[in-house]
Structure 1
Amino acid sequence: MARPGKRDRSSAPEAAPLSTDRRGGVWPILGAAGLYGLLHPYRGIDGDARLYIGRALADLDPAGIGRDLMFVHDGQSRFSLFPLLLRGLVEAFGPAQAALAVGLAGLVAWFCAAAALAAGLAGRGRWVVLAAMAALPASYGFPGVFRVGEALATPRTLAEAAVLASLGACATGRDRLAGLLALLGCLVHPIMGLAGIAVLALVLAARDRRWLIALVALPLAALAAAALGLPLFDRLLQGLDPEFSAILRLRCADLFPSFWPGAAWGPIMVQGASILIAATLAPSRGRPILYAALGAGLTGVAASALFGDRWPALLVVQLQPWRFLWLTAVVGAAAFGLCAAGLWGRSADRLTLGLLALGWLFADDLVIAAGAGATALALHTALRRTRIDPTPRVILVTGALIGVLAASRLAFELSALSWLLSHRDEGAELRLGVVRNFSLVLTLALVGGLVWTRAAGHRGARIVLGAGLGLALVVLWDERTMTARAIEARTALPGLAATVAHRPGAVLWLDGEAQAWLLLARANWSSNLQGAGIVFSPVLARTWAERMDRLIAAGLAAPNDRAPFHPAGPRRPDTPPAAAVAILCAAPDAPAWIVVPLRERQDLPGNAGIFPLAAPVVTARTTPAGVSWHRTVAYGLLPCRG
């Protein structure tokens, strides 16, 4: 690379931004909305939606589901308005329709808020920014745990929408509206909303240094409230007792950054590089938001590492400030869109863009993501300061190397996807929710976006592509299986539900999640799902851990049910040991029934009935040897208490 000396870069022709804007602005927004919908399919009452639907059902049935340990010792629901809204919807329409309505409302609200933020950050290139926010994998924290903008009945998506709308208002100078929207996000989901408050505070401090007083005063006020022993704030000076800490570090390792693998840090690196580069391209009004989103995320991780991991304070562990990274992830995706719109003109700038794209493609590989992101940032800085001027040959060779690495990744993923398709069990479905985890989807999204943009000026092409996109959404967006739909509608396994109704009490549904709540209207005796909320209740944590330990020792559960973030281990025996069942059923706190998933031709001695499924349920399981398929064709019922 030759150094040109002090050439005046301002005299060079300005790079022409890549733009998808058309006079008819409906076409690009329809494409972005369709892309967002396809990459955020509806999974039904799944993920954390199970917890919130379960909470609503428990409030409506305090003598049944309400006796579940998770709801008796609930330490988080009272801090949000969302459970009140969801309870009314579940009471009026039932869990299935309520979950669908909230999931769809959250999806629409999130997309509209993202469009407002894209317009505030980019102006003319907003469609590129919005498409990047829709397509890029905005996950954060421990890999595979949290994603943004999910079509689920949770308060997270709605709170995220409020915060994104808040930042969009801030970018256009409407600070009061921005503050109100951020507060609304806090009322819906305090943890997600606090990220928006943190970013707004940093933006205001950048504009007016007098706001720094508030930034310093608020932590001091919190410490004063803790010293006075005020409720909630007193947890700031409380540590974690050893037993509670040990339980959390096994079941909720995602709370502690020291347990995060490299795949958790790679996205932060490439998101940060994208934000820093985009800040040099963005309009002045959007620049503070970019910096603040990165600063808030990194500060949150540092706070969790110091006061949640190294020197734990109960309130910090429960607030989980590392989750501020959700906003870093979303703004990082928007930043890549800004880079795509602003770095398309000059060949050297396209090299920077290629390095960034490589980092996103290998975001789960810390070495490549960090290397590509850092190199892109260094190259962009050097180009802006006119310290280097790559020759066409250097650009060609480097671009070819980036292409080879990208092609190798895509080839590997095609091979892995082909293997999954050829080795999947009969009845296993690989839908969009699985396929979107492959980086190959980003390439397909890029090609689809280019085709969509080219079709803007051709009426016939618009009709064909629009109809195709609409049909794809209708066919593919709802990923629920027939059995999942029946469970949500409480029409599956009627014989099982009728038999269980003859005896009151909790149900131990082996390998179960929310089936006991949805299908049987009973409390879970114990399940891995109950461990999701233990950070907010030490009592729940101890009771849940004690029961899980008993099940694992008896061969009725697997160690990974107690420690899901640790390496996969052996599963429990398919047939519960008769001696273990007898010991559990003799305990004073024994469940009333045990439900056992059954394979084909599997027998269940001493059962109260076997209830076949209308269609097998096939699930993928991670084992030390790789991926295996588990096929459930029926459920057996064991009576436990006389």
Structure 2
Amino acid sequence: MDRLKAGQWRGPLLFALFVLLWLLHHPYEGIRHDAVLYALQALKHLHPEHFARDVYFLFGSQDDYTLYSFFYAGLAQGTGLGQAALLLTLSGALAWCFAAWRLSSIWQGGARWLFLFLLAVMPIKYGGSEIFEVAEPFAVPRLWANALTLLACALWLQQRRWLALACWLAGMAMHPIMALAGAMLVFFYELRFTRQWAWGVLAGALAACALALFEAPMFGRLLQAMDAQWFDLLHKRTSYFLFPSEWVARNYNTLGFHAAALLWAAWLAGETWQRRLFLAACATGLAGWLVALVFGDWLHSVLVLQMQTWRTLWLMYVFGWAAVAIVSVQLWRPARFVVLGLWAAWFLRDYSGSLILLLVALLYWQRAHMGRVAERVLEAALAAAVALGLVWVAVGASTAYLAVLPGSELNAARTVFVWRDALNAGESALTLAIALLAWLAWQWKRPAALGLLLAGVLFLGYGRSWDARSPQLKLLEGGSLWQQTPFNRHIPVDATVYWLGGWEQTWLLLGRSSYFSRQQSAGLIFSRPLAMEIYRRYQNVYPLAGSLARMKFPTREEMLRRQTDALSDIVPGTLPALRRACADPGLDYVILDKRHEPHALAAWHAPFFSGGVYLYACETLRKN
């Protein structure tokens, strides 16, 4: 009886430990990144008259492709915007953890627990510049789409097909681009090289071509090439992440690492379904990347560029960590040196030698099929590569992700053993404590002891607040200041405002439409008229804002050049530039951190910004 009760306790306890570990390594930092845009969409649902003239909505928006804002707005109406964002993020995180737990159950033993540990602590970033991350801890539909799609994959593998389809459709309703990866994984997993499948694939391809030729909704954009002006604007704004041909070595080293791990795990798989699964995951990511490269980068297909098919890499990388766990567990005893080479390739992925090291590790694994001389050469090469990598990291020439210190990529020169300096941090101690509790939960058989462990987990969990927002940020996100600012009584609800460097404040503090910001240009890929209007407004405000309005993200060389020659940039906020910007009748008010007498309509001093800010009415400036 005790053993039965212990078995009943063990699963929920280990799941609680996994959730706690994930939350520890993914603290909530508020409405940031793309969450700002989805918060804006929710605000528009609640206050359409306030945001109808925002440039982000003039020609449609990402809100047209998701039901997320509908739920967001409903929750925000009852709890406030900031609290709604937190609740959506927390519930999405729990859904993600449940989906990951369900998926991990298809494996047994140490590989399962290592996979869950890696999902909790490792950065699963994908795409150019790694600006996107799987299961991002902020209020965006990607978090829910990741969770629902992963759960759909797990249910499909467990033969619960109708429930899997329902989860996948729910993921599509949240974020179609992210859910596409799940459909591709199932397709490749079920694919058979038979005549029936060949005819089915051919029929599907012909149907898609016919829909494109007859310009059916959405499909008509498949054969439509993006014109040069639109493509040039898109390239300037998003080349660092949208176009695979522009990705850097780190991005391709990460891609190569996961592809190699998946193929390796497929080779080691003892069962056919596991081999098919790892090959399907690899094909899902590589197919999406290849379609984006050929039809997006090279042929400029509007539909492919808008679908951003390279985002299928997110699911490939999730299964890639499962492959890493399986390879590490299976090869640790017979070939641990090879496993060390695999992990060294991950830590050194900033450098081109990462893939070479990975290749050497793979060849060394197959040394039994080679001659004695070749075996010795590979052994020496692998030893030298691992040693060089360790030295490279130790002298600070590289960075190493620190699993026991959440959210950090530390210079390894500061660390010894399990990164000595990191052990002084409460987060790292808690990570190690959770790992110890998980091991004890797996080993012990007494329910009373497990209950005590669960109490300890709850104590440790509440000892660290997952909500890492400052009091000022909580106040800003609360949306309760709209009627309390000294500017709102001067600005009509349907006015457009350009707040220099304060696009978030325009929405969250003033509750007004924003005239221009680089963040609003995120939707220019979906609308040519929006792209042209964004560029027109950019040209209008650039003399006023300088680098604060720059649409193109600077390269390292450009950043260095500006640091060495800072005086060459535009001085923001001058009166002549303000007059020029206000010449556009579509701009009603401007907010600057500089006072130009006697034109300042009102002043505001608040803790949300350093110094004071000043309001200018464009109608007055146009008359004078």
Offset at 1:381?
Answer: 4.0
**Cα offsets for 1:124-145 (capped at 9, x unmatched):** 6311111112222211111131
Which of the residues 533, 540, 564 maps onto 1:550? 540
Classify 1:376/1:394 alpha carbon distance in 2 versus 1 (closer, same or farther; 3 Å): closer
**1:146-191 alpha-carbon deviations (Å, 9 max, x no partner):** 1011122111111111111122123323344333332332222110
Say whether 1:162 aligns with 2:162. Answer: no
2:57 match: secondary structure: helix
- Give the whole-Å Cα distance in 2 for the aligned partners of 1:182 and 1:454: 34
Give the match's secondary structure for 1:595. strand
Report the equivalent of 1:276.
263
Equivalent AA in structure 2 for residue 478 of structure 1? D
Structure 1 contact 354–399 (Cα < 8 Å) conserved: no
CA distance in 1, matches of 2:266, 2:207: 33
| Preserved contact between residue 140 and residue 326 of structure 1 (Cα < 8 Å) | yes
Q: May I ask how many residue pairs the two structures share in their alignment?
A: 581
Task: Choose 452-461 or 280-289, whichever is displaced more.
Answer: 452-461
Contact 1:607 1:637 in 2 (8 A): yes
Matches of residues 337-348 of structure 1 in structure 2 within 5 Å? Answer: 337-346=325-334
Kindly tell me: are residues 416 and 199 of structure 1, through their superposed partners in 2, closer, same or farther at Cα, counting changes over 3 Å? closer
**Structure 1 residue aligned with 2:577:** 580
Match of 1:402 in 2: 386
Q: Give how far 1:51 is off.
A: 1.2
Equivalent residue number for residue 57 of structure 1: 43
Find out whether 1:234 has 2:220 as its counterpart. yes
Give the TM-score normalised by structure 1: 0.81
Matched with 1:592 is 588
**Partners of 1:275 and 1:291 within 8 A in 2:** yes
* Structure 2 counterpart of 1:435, from 400, 408, 411: 408
**Displacement after TM superposition at 1:70 (Å):** 0.8
Alignment of 1:299-338 (within 5 A): 299-338=287-326
1:29 aligns with 2:2: no
CA distance in 2, matches of 1:535, 1:393: 51
Q: C-alpha offsets along residues 340-363 of structure 1, whole Å, 9 cap, x if unaligned?
A: 2222222xx211211111122123
CA contact (8 A) 2:99 2:154 kept: yes
Distance across 1 between alignment mates of 2:383 and 2:515: 58
What is the CA-CA distance between 1:403 and the residue it aligns to? Answer: 5.5
Whether contact under 8 Å (1:275, 1:290) holds in the other structure is yes
Hey, what does 2:3 align to over in structure 1?
none
Contact 1:102 1:153 in 2 (8 A): yes
Gaps of 5+ in 1: 1-20, 418-431, 618-631
Q: What corresponds to 1:508 in structure 2?
A: 498
Task: Indicate if the aligned counterparts of 1:497 and 1:519 stay in contact, CA closer than 8 A.
Answer: no
> Quick one: structure 1 residues 502 and 316, their matched pair in 2 at CA, closer, same or farther if it must change by over 3 Å?
closer
Higher helix share: 2
Kept in 2: contact 1:276–1:377 (CA 8 A) = no
1:479 to 1:399, Cα distance in 2 relative to 1, 3 A? farther
1:486 aligns with 2:464: no
* Cα deviation, residue 308, structure 1: 0.5
Aligned twin of 2:247: 260
Q: How many percent of aligned residue pairs carry the same amino acid?
A: 27
Cα contact 1:95–1:489 (8 A) shared by 2: yes
What CA distance in whole angstroms lies between the structure 1 residues aligned with 2:488 and 2:406?
A: 34
For 1:637 and 1:112, locate their aligned partners in 2 and report how far apart those are by CA, in whole Å: 49
Q: Give the structure 2 partner of residue 466 of structure 1.
A: 457
Distance 2:492 2:82 in 1: 25
Residue 402 of structure 2 is aligned to residue 412 of structure 1: no
Is the CA contact (8 Å cut-off) linking 1:608 and 1:638 kept in structure 2? yes
Structure 2: tracts of 5 or more residues without a match = 1-6, 423-427
Show the counterpart of 2:106.
Answer: 120
- What's the TM-score once normalised by structure 2's chain length? 0.84
Alpha-carbon distance between aligned partners in 2 of 1:593 and 1:192, rounded to the nearest angstrom: 38
Shift of 1:57: 1.1
- Is the contact made by 1:269 and 1:369 (CA closer than 8 Å) also made in structure 2? no
- Name 2:601's counterpart in structure 1: 608
Are the structure 2 counterparts of residues 122 and 455 from structure 1 closer, same or farther at C-alpha, using a change threshold of 3 Å? closer
Residue 534 (structure 2) pairs with residue 541 (structure 1): no
Compute the displacement of 1:387 (Å).
Answer: 7.3
For residues 396 and 185 of structure 1, the distance between their equivalents in structure 2, rounded to whole angstroms, comes to 49
- Check whether the contact 2:148–2:170 (CA below 8 A) recurs between aligned residues: yes
Cα–Cα, structure 1 residues 394 and 290, in superposed 2: closer, same or farther, change >3 Å? closer
C-alpha displacement of 1:28 = 3.7
AA aligned to 2:601 is A
User: By how many angstroms is 1:88 displaced?
Assistant: 1.8
Residues 467 and 78 of structure 1: is their aligned pair in 2 closer, same or farther, counting only changes over 3 Å? closer
Q: CA deviation at 1:240?
A: 0.7
* Cα 1:316–1:89 shift into 2, 3 Å: same
Q: Report the aligned-residue RMSD.
A: 3.5
- Name the CA distance, whole Å, in 1 between partners of 2:76 and 2:324: 39
Moved more, 23-32 or 264-273: 23-32
Structure-2 change in CA distance of 1:402 and 1:639 (3 Å):
same
* Gap change, CA 1:397 and 1:198, over 3 Å in 2: closer
1:576 CA displacement: 0.5
